[in-house]
Structure 1
């Protein structure tokens, strides 16, 4: 196939972490992905990176009898990986898919960096800080959310459930699209305007200090609500600042965050949950809504504007 496309560079990866690092560095226009990779929870990161870079991809199954991952994965069942090849298919079929996908219309500027495409949000006179928790489907949801945040957004803390080796990749991915600065949460970081602190793929829970000036606190301990880091741990730590907080639960499996969100609401925080229609998995948001933890359900498309408006006090 390489002989038919002079100058084409081909990169090979035998694990998902290697594939992610290569894609982030090389920004490929197309990828063949072994279907087994697409069944891994961490493939959500690859999906978001492919979306950010406008990289087209095709899943390659072991044989025609195999069941494609998209049949059972909520992540892949929303339009990704529509086409499948098998390892026994003729190279000509691979070339046909390559031509079809590469020649399809592309965005003008794939992989746009921060500040490009951010929505106008009016005044940036924010008085409150923002807390966000997400799980399955959350990587792309966070990407969509943060595109709408201005450079001088309220201090924002995010817990995302992801693989242990993908925390740095998530920060880099979100920083690529966000006008504000996205950083990996570390111990003792002062909460500042224009900063977004992300805890993902690490062994410690993120919270906030109990005294002002507010700082990040990272604490080792057993899993809370089945996760480390835990959304419940983050939300619960902010209860003393309830009236100064705005919190939201995005798409995800399970119920992590619902108890903490309820405690925040009782403490005077503005609380929201992503609605069912825009959620990849309506698990965490459902529990938050049905238990009364969320005051309102909001579509992903409207979430950034709602959170920013609430943060103005």
Structure 2
């Protein structure tokens, strides 16, 4: 490849964390990924970064006789990694894949997120707070949703299940593409319009203080609903002021968040769940719909508008 493309820079990484940091730094045009890496839960973060950077990638299997990861991974089955190579393929085939993908039409700059022209939108006057819980498939879902939020969006608090090393990367990725300010959840921070707080890969549960002005609260404790941080913990903490809460559960495995969302709805919150068709894994949203926690199921494409409209009610 270096002979076919003079001046090409090639970087190597033997773990996803290194690969993620390299990709975020140099914004590569293309990546070959050993298929075993695509089976790791953290690969969801790599796919989201590749999507944001418009980086093309192809998975490389040990041999063509094994089943590719995409056959069993719902994340990969959504269109990513649809081509595979094996380590036994001739180098010419690698060059052909690279050539084909690099020459494919690229996204325009406008596809990389909202334009930042330095102008400030009027400060939001709503008293509503948006709460979001997500798990498997949630990284891409949050990308799609938060791009639809304006710079002055209502205060937003999110719990996303992810590996402990990838929380900062998720925050940086979402902050890169969103008009609002996306920050890692910290303790005792006052909620403000235009700021999105995310707890991902942290060792403490995230909640909110009951009295105004509401503040974030990080709390030690055992896993709740199998997770730390837990969506249920976040939702339950907001029950005392539920009438000012708009909450949703996005794609994810298991049932974290369904119980807390039901508590919120019973206390007067407006509640939603992502629909089955647009969910990568229809687990958490399914439970929230079946137990009556969600008032309505909404597609991912309509979720941002639905949440923002509910905040005006």
TM bucket, shorter chain: over 0.9
CA contact (8 A) 1:116 1:177 kept: no
Deviation string, structure 1 residues 96-134 (Cα, Å, up to 9, x no partner): 0000000000101288355469xxx99954230100000
Using the alignment, how far apart are the partners of 1:306 and 1:122 within structure 2? 20
Cα RMSD for the two superposed structures:
1.6
- Aligned partner of residue 256 in structure 1, secondary structure: coil
What is the TM-score of this pair, normalised by structure 1? Answer: 0.96
Instruction: Using the TM superposition, give the Cα deviation of residue 281 of structure 1 relative to its aligned residue in structure 2, in angstroms.
Output: 0.4
CA contact (8 A) 1:52 1:110 kept: no
Match status 1:72 vs 2:72: yes
Corresponding residue of 1:152:
152
Q: Which runs of 5 or more residues in structure 1 are unaligned?
A: none
Q: Which runs of 5 or more residues in structure 2 are unaligned?
A: none
Using the alignment, how far apart are the partners of 1:215 and 1:86 within structure 2? 51
Corresponding residue of 1:53:
53
- Aligned partner of residue 311 in structure 1, secondary structure: helix
Corresponding residue of 2:176:
176
Match status 1:163 vs 2:163: yes
State how many pairs are aligned. 310
Using the alignment, how far apart are the partners of 1:238 and 1:107 within structure 2? 40
**Structure 1's 16 and 110: CA in aligned 2 closer, same or farther, altered over 3 A?**
farther
CA contact (8 A) 2:122 2:152 kept: no
**Structure 1's 204 and 114: CA in aligned 2 closer, same or farther, altered over 3 A?**
farther
Deviation string, structure 1 residues 80-109 (Cα, Å, up to 9, x no partner): 100000111111000000000000001012
CA contact (8 A) 1:54 1:110 kept: no
Using the alignment, how far apart are the partners of 1:2 and 1:147 within structure 2? 37
**Structure 1's 175 and 161: CA in aligned 2 closer, same or farther, altered over 3 A?**
same
Corresponding residue of 2:28:
28
Instruction: Using the TM superposition, give the Cα deviation of residue 44 of structure 1 relative to its aligned residue in structure 2, in angstroms.
Output: 0.3
Match status 1:91 vs 2:88: no
Corresponding residue of 1:276:
276
